[in-house]
Amino acid sequence: MPKVSSLGHVGVYVHDLERSRQFYRDILGLKINDEDLERGIVFMSAKDRLAEHHEFVLMRGREDGKVIQQISFHADSLPDLKEFHRIFLEHQIPINRVVSHGNAIGIYFQDPDGNQIEVYWPTGKDWPQPFGKPVDLSRPDAEILASLT
């Protein structure tokens, strides 16, 4: 049975994207690895973007009671990610989407309290974010890898 190997990244909704962006960059020293200010999203990390593209995500749109944008957990391999997919289906956990971000493949679903959760496997590719393309995890690994971007 697969297990997540670490917490990968957390996303939070914020009231003022620019103020939060400056705080986490200028006060805590996080690097901005990608952003789309028009869409209202900033990808940040304490590490080099190739080591960990993002550990923290800021997303415009905070409302009362709506704080968590997503919590993402790291899977060690594509076979582990595919096994998670199988387990989610077996346990009738509704899957919102399965997507390639170029630099990772993620499965998005809700926990029992409705928080968005992602289990993802990093592909090792550097790919600008945000990016998302549907992935069919029932396909052979070689086909999935060939269609990442």
pLDDT digits 0-9 by tens, 24-39: 998 878 899 999 999 9
Whether the CB-CB separation of 148 and 81 falls below 8 Å is answered with no
Grade residue 149 by pLDDT with cuts at 50, 70 and 90: low
Structure-token pair, residue 51: 């080591």
Neighbours of 52 (CB within 10 A): 17
Distances (CA, A) of 142 to 17, 32, 41, 53, 120: 39, 32, 31, 23, 17
Grade residue 64 by pLDDT with cuts at 50, 70 and 90: confident
DSSP 20-74: HHHIIIIIS--EEEEEETTTTEEEEESS-TTT-S-SEEEEE--BTTB-EEEEEEE
Whether the CB-CB separation of 37 and 17 falls below 8 Å is answered with yes
Please tell me the pTM assigned to this model: 0.78
Pairing between β-strand 104-110 and β-strand 41-45 as defined by DSSP bridges: unpaired
H-run or E-run covering 85: helix 78-90
Grade residue 50 by pLDDT with cuts at 50, 70 and 90: confident
Grade residue 99 by pLDDT with cuts at 50, 70 and 90: very high
Residue with tokens 């990390």: 45
